[in-house]
Structures are given as C-alpha cells and as structure tokens.
Amino acid sequence: MQQRPEQFQVVLKDDYRYLHQHPEISFQEIQTTDWLCVRLSELGIEILDADLETGLIAIIRGKQPGKTVALRADIDALPVQEETTLSYASVEEGVMHACGHDFHTSALLGAAALLQQNCENLKGSVKLIFQPAEEHSGGAKFVLKTGALADVSEIYGLHVMPMIPSGAIAIRPGANHAAVGWFEIHITGQGGHAALPHTCSDPIIALGQLIGALQTIVSRSVNPFENAVVSVTHVNAGSTWNVIPSDAFLEGTFRVFSNELASVVSDRIASICSGVAHSSGTQISLDWKVTTTATNNAPELVSFAEDTARSLGLPLTGDLLTMTGEDFAEYQRTIPGVFVHFGVGGEKPLHHPAFLADEGQLVCAAEYLAALAFKSLERLSK
C-alpha cells in the first residue's frame, strides 16, 4: 500500500480527540453518526442506506472484482464521569469514552482513508461498520438485521487493551471474550413482625442462602481447568428495621467461554433456586438469558492476522482471556472472522474514569486494519 503523508497522523489524532471530547452513550450516538457521515463524505466513501437510527455502514468498492470483507468499530461511550486533565476531556457531563471506542472509530476512519487511496488495487469491496451500542450488547444485532452484511465473507475488528504493551498485537483461536449471562431471581415469602419470625417465611434468609450457594457453582460445578465467573450484583429486600418483608430480589451475571458451560451454570442456578425454595418455605422464580455469546476467532484466520501483523513489523504477544463481553461475537456466529486485542499501554483499566489509550498508536492500528482487509481480499481472490 502506498506511502501516507505525515499529515495522516495529525488527522487521525484530531479525529480521536474530537470523538473523545464528544462521547455519546448507546443508541444516542446521533452527533457521532452525523460527524462520521461528514468525514466519510470528505474521503469520497459511499454510505449505504442501512436503515440504522444511529451508526452507519459504508463501502469502498475496489476497481477489481472480488469478494467483500468487513471491518468493524464500535462508536458508543459509557455513563462515566471523566477524571483526566486532558485538554480534550469529555464535555458531556457523566459520559466518557472509557473503553477506547474513540480509538477504534478513529483507527477505522484511518483504515478507510488508506483503502480508498488504494481502491484501484483492491480486489473486491470493504464494508466499514461503525456500530452503535456495543456497551448495550445489542448494537451488532441491529446491524445484522439490516441484511447489509449478507455478502460479507470475512470480518475483522480490534479492541484496545491497556494490559498489553503499546503497539503489540494479541490474538488467539476460539474465544478471547466471554459469553455474558444475566440472571434475575424473585423470592416470595410471608412477611410479618420481626419479633415473631416463626410466623413468617423469611425471604431475606432465602436471599442470603442463595448468595452463598451461587458462589459454589464455580468452585464445585465447573472444571477447575475451565474459566467461569458468577457474580451477584444487585439485591433488594425490606424497607424498615422491624418488619420481615414479603419478598426479596437479586440479580447478577455469569461469564463463560462455551455454550456447554453456560448450560451447566444456568442449570445449577435453577437447581439452587429450587433447593433454597424448598428449605426456606418460599417461592422462588428465576429468569436468565445469555445476552452475548463468546467470541470465536477462526483458527485459520488467526494465522492470517498474525502474519499480517508481522508483515507490518507489529510485535505479537500472548493474548489475554477476558471475562468481559463483546458483541463482535454476534457477527462471528454467521461470518468467519477475527477479533484482535491491540496494546495501548497505560496504567488504568478499561471503564476506569481515567482510562486513556495511547493515541501515538493510531497510525499502526489504522494500517493494520487496512492491511487485514486488503490482504484478505487478495487471499480470497486466489
């Protein structure tokens, strides 16, 4: 691919700083979408009529016939109050790009510019997905429902990682982000006077038993060589000091790396609820679902993505399994693809109010995304 002017780095940095300063939460990325439309139009890139309320899909049509591949970036921010002293800190009260989506979006814009410059040599087409609502775990499904990706043969995306050295690439076959499960439990008992507990069926006792018993799932029902998390994150019961309430509530999450293990965990949650209901004399109802499946990097494409990194001189490092969810997995259910972790250094973790990606790596990330698309189409054309 041809040499870029030095101005390229300046433009990428300006794009990144604008996005960082103007974050929008899931499904409210209206200003971001409008700004992206302007930037893509300036690059001469066609925006598809995909019927998305926020976010967009664009296409770069190569001058040579071939397959279609896709590159994806997420554009939404988090309801987090920024705690940095940056000159370009968020101007939106209580909203921040604390997960690096501003970096992802800027890098994809950079990749788009590089691919558009080289469209004469592009053996097929590249669809650019600027996806809304990744943090809401629903945006990818909305993109897929448009049908605009029906002709896509492969898909690639990246996520910044502060635990990985700046500029390094980390990839692994199979899952690198977990499936995300949600559960909600309602307990119905018999309330009454706190001085007369024998006349009640105390839902708070059942609540405590559930919290303790749920923590045995990972330690006693999951193979110690597999990874799983069960966390209770929200409880509610009672309203005053001398009344045993009639009901109680809890909810939480479980994270696993396979559908089989998700079934094991959900079955154990149901069994525990049944047992505690019987022993406490309460009625317990359970609702649960897997909101996002685990990512699933195609092994043969992982090798290709690693070779592409080497060709650009980007160092490879061991990948990190993370229990966080990533709805890029929704694309991988029907389209072979790879989700890459891209090192950005730093001391603060993702979602921290002082998280900051290394903007000096924007050019590397843009070149890597562009090379993945360019070389993928070359490989598919053979």
Q: What is the dihedral of CA 155, 161, 166, 167, to 10 degrees?
A: 0
240-263 tens-digit pLDDT: 999 999 999 999 999 999 989 999
Single-letter residue type at 198: H
Q: What is the pLDDT of residue 1?
A: 54
Chain center to CA of 215: 25
The residues that bridge with 107 in the sheet, in sequence order, are none
Question: How many angstroms separate the CA atoms of 17 and 15, rounded?
Answer: 6
Q: What residues does 337 pair with on adjacent strands? A: 155
Please give the pLDDT value at position 73.
Answer: 98
Please report, as a single letter, which amino acid is at residue 362.
Answer: L
Percent of the chain past pLDDT 90, that is, above it, reads 95
Dump pLDDT digits (tens) for 10-46. Answer: 999 999 999 999 999 999 999 999 999 999 999 999 9
Mention every residue, 6+ apart, whose C-beta is less than 8 A from residue 216.
none
Give the whole-angstrom CA distance, residue 256 versus residue 40.
38
Please report the pLDDT score of residue 2 as a whole number. Answer: 53
Task: State the pLDDT at residue 139.
Answer: 96
d(CA 334, CA 118): 29
What's the confidence (pLDDT) of residue 145? 97
pTM of structure: 0.94
Distance (Å, rounded) from C-alpha 62 to C-alpha 38? 21
The candidate with the shortest Cα–Cα distance to 122, out of 138, 111, 107, 132, is 111
pLDDT in tens, 275-319: 999 999 999 999 999 999 999 999 999 999 999 999 999 999 988
The CATH architecture that domain 7-176+295-380 belongs to is 3-Layer(aba) Sandwich (3.40)
- For residue 202 the two structure tokens come to 């105390």
Query: What phi and psi, each to the nearest 5 degrees, are found at residue 368?
Result: -65, -45
Q: Which residues of the chain have pLDDT under 50?
A: 3
Q: Any idea which residue has 């650019």 for tokens?
A: 128
Map out the domains of the chain as residue ranges: 7-176+295-380, 179-292
Does domain 179-292 sit in CATH 3.30.70.360? yes
Q: For residues 251-267, b (16+ Cβ closer than 10 Å) or e, as one string?
A: bbbbbbbbeebbebbbe
d(Cα 248, Cα 252) in Å, to the nearest integer? 14
